[in-house]
Chain A
Amino acid sequence: MTAMGHALDKRSVGSGSITLNLMKLRTFIALFAVLVFFSLAAPNFLSAANLILMSKHVALNAFLAMGMTFVIVTGGIDLSVGSIVGLCAMVAGGLILNGLDLRIGYTVYFNVAEVIAVTLCVGLAIGAVNGALITRLNVAPFIATLGTLYVARGLALLSSDGATFPNLVGKEELGTTGYGVLGAGRLLGLPVVIWILVAVALAAAYLARFTPLGRHIFAVGGNERAAALSGIRVARVKMFVYMFSGLCAAIVGLVVSSELMASHPATGESFELNAIAAAVLGGTSMSGGRGTIGGTIVGAFVIGILSDGLVMMGVSSFWQMVIKGLVIIVAVVVDQAQRRLQQRVALRQTARLG
Chain B
Amino acid sequence: MTEIGDDDVVLRLEGVTKVYSGTVAVKQVDFEIRRGAVNVLVGENGAGKSTLMKIIAGVESPTLGRILLDGKPVVFADAADAAARGVGIVFQELNLFGNLSVAENIFAARELARAGLRIDHRLQERRADALLDRLEAGIDPRALVEDLRIGQQQLVEIAKAVAQDARILILDEPTSALSAPEVEVLFRIIGDLKARGVAIVYISHRLEELIRIGDFITVLRDGRVTGRERMANVDVGWIVRQMIGSASKDFAKSEQHEIGDEAFRAEDICVPRATGGYEVDHVSLSVRKGEILGVYGLMGAGRSEFFDCVMGRRPHATGRIFIEGRPVKERDVTGRIRRGLALIPEDRQREGLVAILSVGANLTMASLHKFLAGVHILGSRERSAIGRAIRDLSIKVADPAQEVASLSGGNQQKVVIGKALMTDPKVLLMDEPSRGIDVGAKAEVFRTMRRLAAQGLGIIFVTSDLDEVLALSDRIAVMSNGRVTALVERADATEASLVAASALGHGHPQTQAMEKRA
Contact = CB atoms under 8 A, between A and B. Distances in A.
Interface in B370-421: 372, 375-377, 379, 382-383, 386, 396-403, 405-408, 419
B406 A215 contact: no
A218 B357 contact: yes
A334 interface: no
Contact of A231 (B64, B361, B396, B423): B423
- Identify the interface centre among A8, A14, A289: most chain B CB within 10 Å of its CB: A8
A136 interface: no
A347 B19 contact: yes
A7 interface: yes
B36 interface: no
Given A229-B313, A351-B64, A354-B27, A212 B372 contact: yes
B328 interface: no
A350 interface: yes
B458 interface: no
A13 B402 contact: yes
Nearest to A6: B401
B63 A218 contact: no
A289 B357 contact: yes
Interface string B289-312: 000000000000000000000010
Given A223-B353, A226-B354, A352-B64, A13 B398 contact: yes
B322 to A, nearest CB: 20
B505 to A, nearest CB: 29
Interface residues of B, number: 54
Given A212-B377, A347-B63, A222 B357 contact: yes
B50 to A, nearest CB: 18
A346 interface: yes
Contacts, number: 137
A78 B188 CA distance: 67
Nearest to A218: B357
A21 interface: no
Interface in B406-449: 406-408, 419, 423
A13 to B, nearest CB: 4
A345 B251 CA distance: 35
B360 interface: yes
B48 to A, nearest CB: 13
Contacts of B376: 210-211
A233 interface: yes
B11 interface: no
A39 interface: no
Contacts of B419: 230
A9 B401 contact: yes
Nearest to B64: A351
Interface stretch (B173-181, B211-219, B331-339): B331-339
Contact of B351 (A7, A226, A233, A289): A226
A4 interface: yes
A353 interface: yes
Interface in B197-223: none
Contacts of A210: 376-377, 379
Interface string B305-348: 00000010100000000000000000011100110000101000
B350 interface: yes
A349 B333 CA distance: 36
A340 interface: no
Interface in A320-354: 343, 346-354
A232 interface: yes
B19 A351 contact: yes
B402 to A, nearest CB: 5
Given A226-B353, A228-B333, A350 B19 contact: yes
Contacts of B386: 8
Interface string A1-38: 01011011110111000000000000000000000000
B149 interface: no
B114 to A, nearest CB: 41
Nearest to B382: A8
A346 B356 contact: no
Which of B19, B343, B354 counts the most chain A CB atoms within 10 A? B354
A8 B333 contact: no
B64 to A, nearest CB: 5
Contacts of B58: none
A25 to B, nearest CB: 18
Nearest to A236: B334
Contacts of B487: none
A229 B345 CA distance: 9
Given A8-B383, A215-B377, A289 B63 contact: no
Interface in A256-306: 289-290
A186 interface: no
B358 interface: yes
Contacts of A211: 375-377
A225 B406 contact: no
A230 B369 CA distance: 13
A227 interface: yes
A14 B313 CA distance: 38
Q: Taking each of A213, A223, A231, A347, which has the highest tally of chain B beta carbons within 10 Å of its own beta carbon?
A: A231
A247 interface: no
Report which residue of A210, A225, A230, A351 has the largest number of chain B beta carbons within 10 angstroms of its beta carbon. A230
B360 A8 contact: yes
Contacts of B17: 351
A197 interface: no
Given A229-B313, A350-B19, A350-B24, 5 more contacts: A210-B377, A226-B350, A227-B354, A231-B366, A347-B63
29 contacts: A2-B356, A8-B358, A8-B361, A8-B382, A8-B401, A10-B401, A13-B401, A14-B398, A210-B379, A211-B377, A212-B368, A212-B372, A213-B375, A219-B357, A219-B361, A222-B357, A223-B354, A226-B351, A228-B333, A229-B311, A229-B345, A229-B352, A230-B365, A233-B332, A233-B334, A347-B21, A347-B63, A350-B24, A354-B396
Interface of A: 2, 4-5, 7-10, 12-14, 210-213, 215, 218-219, 222-223, 225-233, 289-290, 343, 346-354
User: 7 closest Cβ contacts across the A-B interface?
Assistant: A222-B354, A9-B401, A346-B406, A230-B366, A231-B337, A212-B368, A13-B399
